[in-house]
Structure formats: structure tokens, C-alpha cells
Amino acid sequence: MSPQSRYATCAGYEIHYTEWGAGDAPVVIAWHGLARTGRDMDDLAAHLAGRYRVICPDTLGRGLSQWSRNPVQDYRLAFYARLAADLFDQLGIAQAHWIGTSMGGAIGTVCAAGLFEPRLHGRIRSLLLNDNAPRLADAALERIKSYAGQPPAFDTVAELEAFFRQVYQPYGWLSDAQWRRLTETSTRRLPDGRVTPHYDPAMVQQFTHHENDYLIWDHYDRLDIPVLCLRGADSDLVLPETVAEMLTRGPGARGLAQVIEVPGCGHAPALNVPAHYALVDAFLARAEQAV
């Protein structure tokens, strides 16, 4: 099944998203990671599209979405929640399951909690955190800050693909075709003709101006919906002691949270192989029964 490429105006910006599945099916929001695009969710969305309407946005400043006019104010979780709330309203989404990789999981957490956007409270039915947690490892955050604001440039797409294969090796196994698609769907050409990852380097200001933006225990503690954390077994971003704490507070204390380690992956599992699909399917099936 092929997706539809669509655009919506959210919080005054043009936001691109791909839409899979039937318009009257239950909705899944699949939100990508920090320096990525919604097309990372293609394989999972194609798998789910027979049963769900799957919406895969490009976050502001990524992919085909517009770049921020005010990076300090816009590149942060509170504004991303506003974008999500507008997208829900514009697309007529009453409720949805949320699958978020890394940053996408943090956005889902604050949206479900409703502290930033009360109009979303009660509209997220379940939350799957793909290698994301309410606290991220300080060393890994420093690593992200060191490179995210200075994306490399290469003469050829083949060189950029080689770079992606190296830095995203922790995603786990991808086929050659999947590596090529990952590259081609997250590449932009610079004025000098070179190619670079398709995001606004200014998005790193989330870390320099809002250094505790990803410390979101207060949001997590409010959740009263099913939560699954898929932790890459080799992740340096989500630490074992953090996921252990997730099971003792918020939805964990209410018996609603589960943590599963995904072997052969670090940060973050690509959600692109049958073993990953099975974990997602089982979680969504439990979440549907819980409603």
C-alpha cells in the first residue's frame, strides 16, 4: 500500500505528513526521531495500514515541513505539542494510538499528559516509546548536542548514505533498499551542490536554550493509559535504571506500563522487521482491549 503525501497548516506553519490506510480506521500517529523524518515510519506504517489509519508527520524543521521562523521558541516540546494538537483537530482525529521514536516518544508523552495542550488530554489511547524515556542519559545528550547542529555535507548521495549507515548502525538490520530509502527521504541539496541531512540545524537550540526539555517525569507521572517502552538493548540514551523507575511511577505504578528490550539494537530500533512488528501488534491489541 502506498501513502498519500499531504500538508496541513499547524500553529502557522506548513507541516508535511504521509497518510496510510483507510480514512475511517482507528488512528495511529507514528512520530519520528530528532534529526529524522516521518518517512522513517514507512515500513511500520505499511504493515499497520490494513487495520489502521497511520499518520506520519515531519516535525517542524525536518523533511518537507516548514522551518521555524523563531527557533528558540519553536524547537521545543511545548511547541511540538501545539503542532500535534492542531494536526489532530485539522484531521478530525478524536483519538489515536501514538508510536514515537526518541523525540517522537517525548512529544507523545507530553501530548498524552495534557499539561502543554489540555485539548489533547484523553485523546491518546496508548503510547509506545521507541527507545525514549522521561529522563535521557546526560552523556548521550551531550553527544547529540555536539553533532546535531552541524550536519555534514557530501559531494554525492552515495557518500551521505555511507555516513547514515555508520551513524545509524544502532538501528539494527536494514536491507540495502531500506538504507537507500532512508537516505533519499532525508537528503537535501545545499546551494553549493553538496548534499546534507534534511533538517534545520537550528533545531539543536532545543538543547542549548531548553536544556531540561527532555526531563519530563512530571508529564509521565500523569499518564493513565497503556505505555510500552521498547528499549534498544545497547541504547546509550535510555539507561536500565531509568526504565526500572518507569515501572514504579506514573503508569508503571498503575500497572499500565511495560518495558521490553529489543536485541541487536541501540538507539533506536528501526521498527522495520517482523520481530519489531510483532511487539507493536501485541501492544496495540492489548491497548484496544483496555479501552
Confidence of residue 248 (pLDDT cuts 50, 70, 90): very high
Q: Which residue has the cell 552523556?
A: 139
Does 291 score more than 90 pLDDT? no
Classify domain 4-137+212-290 by CATH number. Answer: 3.40.50.1820
This prediction has a pTM of 0.97
Question: Please, what sign has the CA dihedral across residues 21, 290, 278, 252?
Answer: positive
Confidence of residue 147 (pLDDT cuts 50, 70, 90): confident
Distance CA 58, CA 260 (A): 27
Confidence of residue 1 (pLDDT cuts 50, 70, 90): low
pLDDT tens per residue across span 91-110: 999 999 999 999 999 999 99
Mean pLDDT of 223-232: 98
Kindly compute the dihedral angle of the four CA atoms of residues 188, 182, 19, 57, in this order, to the nearest 10 degrees. -60
Output phi, psi for 19, to 5 deg. Answer: -125, 130
Mean pLDDT of 23-41: 97
pLDDT tens per residue across span 235-244: 999 999 999 9
Distance CA 145, CA 148 (A): 6
Question: Please, what sign has the CA dihedral across residues 206, 124, 13, 11?
Answer: negative
pLDDT at position 142: 84
Question: What mean pLDDT value characterizes the chain?
Answer: 96
What are the extents of the domains in the chain?
Answer: 4-137+212-290
Task: Using a pLDDT cut of 90, give the percent of the chain over it.
Answer: 93
Per DSSP, the three-state class of 53 is strand
Cβ-in-10-Å burial (0-12, 13-18, 19+) of 216 comes to buried
Does 145 score more than 80 pLDDT? no
pLDDT tens per residue across span 153-206: 999 999 999 999 999 999 999 999 999 999 999 999 999 999 999 999 999 999
